[in-house]
Structure 1
């Protein structure tokens, strides 16, 4: 009888990351239970945006924790995409994840810093601060929504390409709706500076994610 070697892939590090995400949620709730409750209804109510954007900053402990959760959750989702599409990956899987999370973190942080610098240069801090809070809050919530999806993809079944693309398309649609709603709210301001707005979209909303894709590839 010929013995066949069975390769066992350990998911321990993935479990640790998912537990860390749940712990971050618990910490955020512990910091401010009322704000957390409003945040969890973000897609059905604007109470969190209205009540928090004037008193809270992106660098506050509450928002920082949710941003960290977003980065981990989105990176896990992107990592699943490599398995779904069977891309040639690094021999050690965790190295691929670290590559993804470092690139995603650098792009997210650099985008925020550049947008803040641009706001200061053109003396439009108030509207840019409102925009960044609006955008980051919804993307943090998307990070929370991705948690159960990541758990299913990692432990229940690896999705087909069509399923993964459908989820990815849904996330892009949600993100587009969020951005369009803010742009429509500030339509008059945008129309006055339409040329600069188009440059902004190309340079700071589209290009960074294209660069992320190319670097990971």
Structure 2
């Protein structure tokens, strides 16, 4: 059997990021164990959505902790993806992670603010608040899904391009299913404002991630 050596880069700061994500999850659970247990069962039951969105809890400390965990986890996954596809491999350092994290955070926060402004202008705060909570909750959960994947990629084996693409495509499909389920639930509202809905998809759901890709690459 021929052994293939793998170059091991320093993982000290990566370990700190992983521990930070775990700490955020622990803090969220200690803050509200009941809601946390409902959150981790999000794809098997919508109890978390039903019990939380009516109280407009998007801006609570609990959701802020989960959102921060999502930002770190997703940014780390994107950082690892840069290494997998060998885009400027020689610059894979902490500063690149921060670049990705800052751009991703900027896009996420700006999208939320713009959507809230649009909701106020068109007097559709109730629908948009429900939509934002629904979307952010499921994306926080996807950040949770990515956490063990990041751990495996960092400490166990280096992912191939095919493996990374499969995971990325599955996450995109999962995100589309989540969004379509909400759109279908509010089908009548969307059909009555179809032009604005298409404009929204292009401007706030597709363009930001294309910009993120261009800025990082």
TM-score of the superposition, structure 1-length normalised? 0.95
* CA deviation map 1:68-116 (0-9, x unaligned): 0000000000001011001114636111101000000000000000000
Aligned: 1:135 with 2:131: no
1:35-114 correspondence runs (5 A): 35-89=35-89, 91=91, 93-114=93-114
Q: Give, in whole Å, the separation in 2 of the partners of 1:69 and 1:216.
A: 20
**Alpha-carbon distance in 2 for matches of 1:49, 1:13:** 34
CA drift of 1:58 comes to 1.6
CA deviation vs aligned residue, 1:140-194 (integer Å, no higher than 9, x gap): 0000010100000011011110000000000001100000000000000000000
Gap change, CA 1:155 and 1:8, over 3 Å in 2: closer
Whole-angstrom CA distance in 2 between matches of 1:10 and 1:158:
14
Answer yes or no: is 1:117 the counterpart of 2:117: yes
- SS of the equivalent of 1:159 reads coil
Q: Which ranges in structure 2 are unaligned for 5 or more consecutive residues? A: 1-6
The ranges of structure 1 where at least 4 consecutive aligned residues each deviate by more than 4 angstroms after the TM superposition are none
- RMSD of aligned residue pairs (Cα, Å): 1.1
Deviations 1:44-76 (A, max 9, x none): 000000001012422100000000000000000
Unaligned stretches of 5+ residues in structure 1: 1-6
Counterpart of 2:189? 189
Deviation at 1:208, TM superposition (A): 0.3
Question: Contact 2:56–2:129 (CA<8 Å) still a contact in 1?
Answer: no
Decide whether aligned partners of structure 1 residues 172 and 77 sit closer, same or farther in structure 2, where only a CA change above 3 A counts: same
Contact (CA 8 Å) 1:70, 1:144: kept in 2 or not?
A: yes
Secondary structure at the counterpart of residue 45 of structure 2: coil
